[in-house]
Structure 1
Amino acid sequence: MQGLRHSVFLLALAVGLGSVPAGAQAVSIPAGSYQLLASRSQLGILLRKAGWLGAFADNHVVHTGVMRGSATGEAGSWHGIVTAPTAELQVVDPNRSTQQRHEIWVTMEGPDQLDAEQFPEIVWRLNGLELTAAAPGVLLHGTFSIHGVTRTVAWPTHVAVENGVVHVWGSAQLLLTDYGIQPIHRALGAIKVKNQFELRWDTYWQRS
């Protein structure tokens, strides 16, 4: 009974170790219900500059630590949800003043970009993990919703467990236009934001 109470599941698709790809390394996670540790977790977006005057512009770094999340781990699966209020995203460009960062964010949250008023939440649903031979060894399946558009995703992800806390982190390349957002253009396109942006996540989960 003690062993059952402290059972673990493997990050695979509930088909057993026989189907783990060669070179893949299973990670054992205690089964049960989990809550996101918002105080330690972050979701970030990196927007890169483009255009022939791009050398005179800065990349934009946006992140938030204001998130909620819950997940369930059981035999061969990891399912859950992470939500973040769009309006709580913050511009943290290191080379900009506080006033400049505020002005950038006003543009980003406006109706022509994220439209935070009409689409107040970023939603990331976690629908399972798959072991792979390629680094980092795990694909995180699910859906990602921003600007009212939902896309099915499968992102390479790092997973580690320490003192009962599950650490899930990684990054993925996405396209603004896939989510109905047009990249910002200024000075007749001489300065613009690239369509491709990087989403970064660094999440910690504790059993509830």
Structure 2
Amino acid sequence: MKHDLALHPLPPAVVSRETETKLEGFLALLLRWNARINLVASQDPVLLRQRHIADSLQLLPLLPEGEGVMADLGSGGGFPGLVLAIATTRPVHLVESDRRKAAFLQAAAAELGLAHVKVHAERIEAVRLPPIAVLTARALAPLEKMLPWAGRLLAPEGFALFPKGRTADEELRAAAPGWTMQVERFKSMTDPDASILKLSGIRRVGA
């Protein structure tokens, strides 16, 4: 495993006025649905904007150039996948096995005019997607559990962007015996204890 120990700074995420308007619409829709189903713990729009939406948008400068397909695993309330879909025109697949949360994602994509978004109400193990250029997941599972999904879904030149908290080093060490990959780390702009792992060339050892 090639591991870049340096914590690289993230370039700032710059979004258009149109994107900002859609993000406000998304936040309002999230709060309405959250009164009926548990999408996020907080009902504070300021906290949701400053923490969850900003946390998702910081992945934007790390997305590959072009229109390569993106997939987000365990999309839940739309973080980071739906937020990134609002800020880009690339095809985006949102995978969420909870049918109520998947219904929210579908409704949000329709209301916000995100025709490039497709929602999959399926388990990650069963979903069938085109080769993925960039794979995201936030607060979903330990790295050892996510790497088999990434290895199956990513295109040969694709990579994963996984925000991780203070357990990042521990998870990388646990995954090292079974996996080979290139690792870059970027310092989170929203949480001093967090970083974003960019993983490419993901292969099982011996494969």
Please state which band the TM-score falls in when normalised by the shorter chain. under 0.3
Q: Which has the higher strand share?
A: 1
Q: Which has the higher helix share?
A: 2
What TM-score do the two structures reach when normalised by structure 1?
A: 0.25
What TM-score do the two structures reach when normalised by structure 2?
A: 0.25
